[in-house]
Amino acid sequence: MSRRQLFLRLLVKAAWVRKDRALTALLSVTVVATIATAALTVYSDLDNKLSHEFRSFGANVVVSKQGGALTRDELSRIDSTLAARHLIVPVAYAIANGPNGARVVVGGTDVKAFRDLNSSWSVRDTGHHGTQVLMGSRAAEAFSRQGEAVKVSFNARQATLQPEGIFSSGTDDDSRIYLDQNEFSALTGVEPNTALVRVEGRPQEIEAAINTLRSSLPGLEIKPVRQITLAQTAVVSKTRAVVLAASAVIVTLIMLCMMVTLTSSVLERRKDFAVMKALGASNKTVNLLFTAEAALLAVAGAAAGFILGSGIAFWIGRANFDAAIFPQPGLLLPVFAGSMALALLASTAPLRILQRIQPAGILRGE
Amino acid sequence: MFLRLLFESFRRQKRRKSIAFLAIALGMSIATAMIAVAAGIGDKISQELRSTGANLVITPIEDTLDVNLGGVNLKPASSGAYVAESELPKLKGIFWGHNILGFVPSLTAPVTVTKNGKNTLVDLHSTQAANAELIGTYFAQPLHYGKQDFVTGARSVNPWWQVEGEWPHDYAEWPANQPPEVLVGKKVAAESGLSPGDEVEIAGKNLRVSGVLNTGGSEDQAIVAPLHIVQQLLGRPNAVDRVAVSALTKPEDAFGRRDPSKMTPAMRDRWYCSPYANSIAFQIREALPNVRVEQVRQVEQNQGKILTRISGLMLLLTLAALLASVLAVSAAMAATILERRQEVGLMKSMGASNTSVASLFLTEAGLLALAGGMAGFLGGAALARYIGSSIFGSSIEVHPVVLALILCAALVVTFAGSAGAVRKATQFDPAVVLRGDA
């Protein structure tokens, strides 16, 4: 039997004969690798997933033009400048007179896109679908309690507006009536001078989008809706920090716990160690054997842990964000290196203690 | 005999026992920290989300429609009804008064800002179209209700308001010695060339600009002054036409959306005692008659959505962490017991039954679990507190109930981890184990 064969035999037999010990050690490394992979995978995709939730806050940028309407060209420039996913809803406003002569602000817009943008508003159906008129709850209270048609006039022109829905927003919009842009221009002759824009993305991507808009459209006023961007930045960064801190705590503690287990299982093998030394093995050979065992364990544990952890992260994404969190190949290396370091450290540290003791002493049972 | 065995086992096997103890303590401190963080994060994030501004708005019920165009509300100050300012501290007295984080009253009138040579004139009753608003509000007004003293105003409720210069004082009376301070919105300042230190004339009275306000909203086109000053300028003491309220609310669910008038008394009590935006609005209507209270849906609805996502995420992470710490503790227990085969062999060869061996081991495990669980709880609570204070600036407290939970969990986990190993250790033939063949 050559040296190499003997080495391999010792390696395999050590695991095979004491299966429970090998399995406990493998389980330990796998658990660490799994939880580290899962936590870090979730962390790396978290700002994306959370930022996505902020889209339902509605417009986060308002583009407006002083003295004049936004031209078709300007609108398409906004559209082409924005790299991120976005929704642009141009709106025009005018003051019209309601049924009893009361003044009411009327807005012209693409009603469907406008509803999509303000998805958090509650809209009560009036049963008249497709009329493209939305009425604010306070306006409805004044003019159309049952959702009936309302006559409004602008200068000499008149229009009858049949609301398809009555919305409640909790803002000034509740005093307004929104209708289709074409009908609005026919009534008032006013074209949109404001565009509500929802830019999707992480806080820094939204910031960048605003800056590019400002530089490519210098004639327009571009204002971020600050309370939304501010809240998004705060919530995303703090949640990330919590998840990172929690992951760090979990991984460190589990790692310590596992290291304790691994170290104790190596210390239990001091008889193996002493027999080998008594038979004439050098310190180097024994170290190599224990290190090789640890490395084997680490590779197997890390591989299993990476697959399991990615699976858990994928499932967390599905269960919590309705969108999968995909495995991060970039984590493969850190997870392998970490597991390797853990296993090597845990198994070689006790060897150093053992080397100080005489093999004869260990065999006598001291 | 049993006690002696137990005692000696701890005295003589310090290394093994401390390893098991450490493993349990570490596992349980993960559990404690994660449970505490998962339970506390809802409140913390909800505080962060308060920077989106007020989530409830109070307006007088017989008010006319707002005529808000291009950031300026053109509704004349004389039309419409008011809420009495003196009634507002009652907001703190409602059932969920502690959840009212702050409120900002405002009184608004359309104005025309014109330049006359060096002077800037603000006209309240101009015949020309208004080009700005005069807003009276609280900046940081000290108030008291009953025995409570508190400070509320735009500075705390609207954290996105930025001021270049100084914030004005909240005057109770028109100041005798010097002109009162006001803020001018960014746009007004740009159009009229006003900067901090300049004076503006409103309705024949001089006011000093203390700062330029930048909000990114309609206030940029306004002159924002202390509420009592605006009340005097408009001749409407005690009047407020809108109050923005920032309240800590529970995300709305199907129950929270139900109509309280159609509930049974027991359900209605439960609804009333839950801090839903709707039930807080209901309580505000009880405290202040003749007002309309609306939730700002953009803020309120989305806040719930985001909170659910974040707490859900923390819950799942906590589950994963618990599972991992269970496995870690079990593995450690199994490892320490499997190493004691020889001891088991010795006991059995001297006539000990499987039951007595198992009971010795399980008692040891139980003691370790209690000690480790206690230490883990303390460690975990410290970790949670540290995470809270370093990220949110306020610590996350651990509920004492968690201690009971953690001790039970520690017992269950160590027993589960030990049971398999003990069973396996007792199954071996003592003779074989003692010979060292197993």
- DSSP labels for B256-297? TTS-GGGS-HHHHHHHHTS-BHHHHHHHHHHHSTTEEEEE-H
Q: In B, which residues are within 8 Å of A263 by CB distance?
A: 19
Judgement on whether residues B244 and B286 belong to the same structural domain of the protein: yes
Q: CA angle, A201 as apex, A199 and A207 as ends, to 5°?
A: 70
Rg (CA), chain A: 34
B392 touches chain A (CB under 8 A): yes
Cα B187 to Cα A185, B127, B131, B166, B225, distances in angstroms:
29, 22, 11, 18, 16
**The whole model's pTM is what?**
0.79
Q: Which residues pair with A160 in a beta bridge?
A: A151
pLDDT at A366: 57
pLDDT at A1: 66
Identify residue A363 by its one-letter amino acid code: L
Dist. CA B402–CA B414, nearest whole Å: 18
Dist. CA B241–CA B61, nearest whole Å: 10
Contact check, Cβ <8 Å, A56/B301: yes
CA distance to partner chain B, nearest, from residue A288 (Å): 23
Which residue of chain A is at minimal alpha-carbon distance from B19? A260
CA distance to partner chain B, nearest, from residue A5 (Å): 24
Please give the average pLDDT of every successive group of 10 residues along chain A, which has 366 residues: 78 74 81 89 87 85 85 88 87 87 89 90 87 90 86 87 90 89 89 90 88 89 84 87 85 79 74 80 81 87 93 90 87 90 81 74 68
Number of H helices, E strands in chain B: 12, 17
Contact check, Cβ <8 Å, B335/A21: yes
Contact check, Cβ <8 Å, A260/B22: yes
Rg (CA), chain B: 33
Final residue in a domain of this structure, among B295, B323, B354: B295
Tokens of B240: 């407020």
pLDDT at B175: 85
In the structure, what pLDDT confidence band is assigned to residue B183 with cuts at 50, 70 and 90?
A: very high
B428 touches chain A (CB under 8 A): no
Judgement on whether residues B95 and B219 belong to the same structural domain of the protein: yes
Which of B106, B297, B315 would you mutate first to test chain A, the one with the most A CBs within 10 A? B297
In the structure, what pLDDT confidence band is assigned to residue B289 with cuts at 50, 70 and 90?
A: confident
Burial of B344: CB neighbours in 10 Å, binned 0-12, 13-18, 19+? buried
What length does chain A have?
A: 366
Q: In B, which residues are within 8 Å of A225 by CB distance?
A: 216-217
Backbone angles phi, psi at A279, to 5 degrees: -80, 0
Dist. CA B391–CA B47, nearest whole Å: 13
B270 touches chain A (CB under 8 A): no
Backbone angles phi, psi at B186, to 5 degrees: -55, -45
Q: In A, which residues are within 8 Å of B332 by CB distance?
A: 257, 260-261, 264
Element (H, E) at B17: helix B14-49
Contact check, Cβ <8 Å, A231/B48: yes
- Alpha-helical (H) ranges within A18-125 are 19-53, 72-81, 111-117
Q: A19-53 vs B297-338: helix axis angle to the nearest 10?
A: 170
Judgement on whether residues B311 and B284 belong to the same structural domain of the protein: no
Beta pairing, strands B162-165 & B205-214: antiparallel
How many domains, chain B? 2
With a cut of 60, say whether residue B242 has pLDDT above it.
yes
Which residue of chain B is at minimal alpha-carbon distance from A107? B69
Judgement on whether residues B308 and B240 belong to the same structural domain of the protein: no
Judgement on whether residues B319 and B197 belong to the same structural domain of the protein: no
DSSP state of A180: E
pLDDT at B167: 94
Question: Do residues B332 and A32 lie in contact, with contact meaning Cβ atoms separated by under 8 Å?
Answer: no
Dist. CA A56–CA A79, nearest whole Å: 20
Nearest neighbour of B53 by CB, restricted to A104, A138, A227:
A227
In the structure, what pLDDT confidence band is assigned to residue B280 with cuts at 50, 70 and 90?
A: very high
Q: What is the mean pLDDT of residues B291-298?
A: 87
Question: Do residues B298 and A169 lie in contact, with contact meaning Cβ atoms separated by under 8 Å?
Answer: yes
Final residue in a domain of this structure, among B233, B260, B295: B295
Dist. CA B45–CA B50, nearest whole Å: 9
Dist. CA A49–CA B295, nearest whole Å: 26
What does pLDDT average to over chain B?
84
| CA of residue B159 relative to chain centroid, distance | 15
Closest CA relative to residue B48, chosen from B151, B160, B142: B160
Q: In B, which residues are within 8 Å of A257 by CB distance?
A: 22-23, 26-27, 325, 328-329, 332
Beta pairing, strands B291-295 & B162-165: unpaired
In the structure, what pLDDT confidence band is assigned to residue B224 with cuts at 50, 70 and 90?
A: very high
Contact check, Cβ <8 Å, A264/B19: yes
A236 touches chain B (CB under 8 A): no
Contact check, Cβ <8 Å, B424/A102: no
Judgement on whether residues B71 and B126 belong to the same structural domain of the protein: yes
pLDDT at A197: 92
SS3 B223: strand
Residue B348: CB partners within 8 Å, gap ≥ 6?
Answer: B354, B357, B426, B430
Contact check, Cβ <8 Å, A312/B338: no
End-to-end CA distance of chain A: 33
Identify residue B252 by its one-letter amino acid code: E
Residue A143: CB partners within 8 Å, gap ≥ 6?
Answer: A98, A99, A100, A102, A104, A135, A150
Closest CA relative to residue B62, chosen from B290, B383, B392, B391: B290
Contact check, Cβ <8 Å, A175/B66: yes
Judgement on whether residues B289 and B309 belong to the same structural domain of the protein: no
SS3 A63: strand
Dist. CA B130–CA B73, nearest whole Å: 9
pLDDT at A260: 75
Buried b / exposed e over B31-67, threshold 16 CB at 10 Å, is bbbbbbbbbbbbebbbbbbbbbbbbbbbbbeebbbbb
Judgement on whether residues B226 and B373 belong to the same structural domain of the protein: no
DSSP state of A319: I
Parent domain of B64: 54-295
SS3 B302: helix
pLDDT digits 0-9 by tens, B389-421: 888 888 888 888 889 988 998 898 888 878 877
Judgement on whether residues B70 and B90 belong to the same structural domain of the protein: yes
Contact check, Cβ <8 Å, A102/B158: no
SS3 A212: helix
With a cut of 60, say whether residue B247 has pLDDT above it.
yes
Taking the CB of residue A326, how many other CB atoms lie within 10 A of it? 13
Tokens of A311: 């699976």
Closest CA relative to residue B240, chosen from B248, B249, B230: B230
pLDDT digits 0-9 by tens, B22-55: 888 888 888 888 888 888 888 888 878 877 778 8
Judgement on whether residues B232 and B317 belong to the same structural domain of the protein: no
- Please tell me chain A's helix, strand, coil percentages from 3-state DSSP, rounded to the nearest 5: 60, 15, 20
Q: Which residues pair with B212 in a beta bridge?
A: B164, B184
Final residue in a domain of this structure, among B244, B278, B295: B295
Q: In B, which residues are within 8 Å of A238 by CB distance?
A: 44-45, 48, 391-392
Q: In A, which residues are within 8 Å of B295 by CB distance?
A: 170
- E-strand spans in B70-198? 72-73, 83-84, 100-116, 119-123, 132-137, 141-145, 148-152, 162-165, 181-185
Which of B246, B302, B437 would you mutate first to test chain A, the one with the most A CBs within 10 A? B302
Question: Do residues B354 and B9 lie in contact, with contact meaning Cβ atoms separated by under 8 Å?
Answer: no
Judgement on whether residues B352 and B233 belong to the same structural domain of the protein: no
pLDDT at B68: 74
Q: What is the mean pLDDT of residues B108-114?
A: 86
Judgement on whether residues B346 and B266 belong to the same structural domain of the protein: no
pLDDT digits 0-9 by tens, B342-382: 777 888 888 888 888 888 888 888 898 999 999 999 999 99
Better-scored residue on pLDDT, B209 or A285: B209
Q: CA angle, A353 as apex, A347 and A354 as ends, to 5°?
A: 85
- E-strand spans in A110-230? 122-125, 133-136, 150-154, 157-161, 165-168, 176-180, 194-199, 221-224
- With a pLDDT cut of 90, the percent of chain B lying above it is 18
